[in-house]
Structure 1
Amino acid sequence: MSDDSFFREVSDELRQDKVKAVWTKFGAWIFAAVVLAVATTAGVVGWDRYRIAQANESGDNYLAALDLAREGKRDEAVAALQTIAVDGYGAYPDLARMSIGGVLHEQDKPDEAVAAFDAVAKDSDVPQPIRDMAAVRAAYILVDSGTLDDVRSRVERLTGDSEPLRFPAREAIALAAWKAGDRETARQLFQELLDDAGAPNGISGRARMMLEVIAAGTPAESADSVAPVDGVAGVPLTTPPATATGVPGSDTGQPAAAGTPPADAPESASAPAPATGTNSQAAPSSTPSQAVSEPVPATGAN
Structure 2
Amino acid sequence: MALTPQNNEAFLREVDEELRKDQAAALWRRWGRAIAIAIVAGLAVFAGYLFWQHQRREAAGREGEQMQLAWDDLSAERTAKATPALAQLAASKRDGYRAVALFTQADLLLRKDDLKGAAAKFAAIAADNTLDPSFRELAAVRQTNAEFDTLPPEQVIARLRAIAVPENAYFGSAGELVALAYLKQGKRDLAGKLFGQIAQSDRVPPSLRQRAVQMAGVLGVDAVSAEAGTLGNKATQ
TM tier relative to shorter chain: 0.7 to 0.9
1:146 equivalent to 2:186? Answer no
Say which structure is richer in helix: 2
Separation in 2, partners of 1:43, 1:126: 27
- Correspondence 1:53-202 to 2 at 5 A: 53-87=58-92, 89-143=94-148, 145-147=149-151, 149=153, 151-160=156-165, 163-175=168-180, 184=188, 185-199=190-204, 201=206
Shift of 1:193: 1.0
Separation in 2, partners of 1:74, 1:183: 44
Separation in 2, partners of 1:127, 1:61: 22
The residue type paired with residue 146 of structure 1 is: T
Shift of 1:197: 4.9
Matched residues, number: 213
Separation in 2, partners of 1:38, 1:48: 15
When residues 89 and 181 of structure 1 are mapped into structure 2, their CA distance, relative to the original with a 3 A threshold, is closer
The residue type paired with residue 140 of structure 1 is: N
Please, what is the CA RMSD of the aligned residues?
3.0
Alpha carbons 1:74, 1:107 under 8 Å: kept: no
The residue aligned with 2:10 is: 5
When residues 87 and 164 of structure 1 are mapped into structure 2, their CA distance, relative to the original with a 3 A threshold, is closer
Separation in 2, partners of 1:208, 1:148: 25
Percent identity, aligned pairs only, is: 27
When residues 26 and 191 of structure 1 are mapped into structure 2, their CA distance, relative to the original with a 3 A threshold, is same
Alpha carbons 1:58, 1:89 under 8 Å: kept: no
CA deviation string 1:185-227 (max 9, x = no partner): 5433211211345545554344235446777xxxxxxxxxxxx
Alpha carbons 1:55, 1:90 under 8 Å: kept: no
Shift of 1:121: 1.8
Shift of 1:111: 1.6
Separation in 2, partners of 1:161, 1:32: 60
Shift of 1:51: 0.5
CA deviation string 1:241-296 (max 9, x = no partner): xxxxxxxxxxxxxxxxxxxxxxxxxxxxxxxxxxxxxxxxxxxxxxxxxxxxxxxx
Runs of 5+ consecutive residues of structure 1 not aligned to the other structure = 216-302
The residue type paired with residue 150 of structure 2 is: G
Separation in 2, partners of 1:40, 1:177: 59
CA deviation string 1:143-165 (max 9, x = no partner): 4x435625335323422466553
CA deviation string 1:86-129 (max 9, x = no partner): 24544312321122111211222112111211222233444433
When residues 162 and 65 of structure 1 are mapped into structure 2, their CA distance, relative to the original with a 3 A threshold, is same
The residue aligned with 1:49 is: 54
Shift of 1:12: 1.8
Instruction: State the TM-score, normalized to the length of structure 1.
Output: 0.60
Separation in 2, partners of 1:181, 1:153: 13
When residues 168 and 79 of structure 1 are mapped into structure 2, their CA distance, relative to the original with a 3 A threshold, is same
Runs of 5+ consecutive residues of structure 2 not aligned to the other structure = 221-237
Shift of 1:16: 1.0
When residues 162 and 87 of structure 1 are mapped into structure 2, their CA distance, relative to the original with a 3 A threshold, is closer
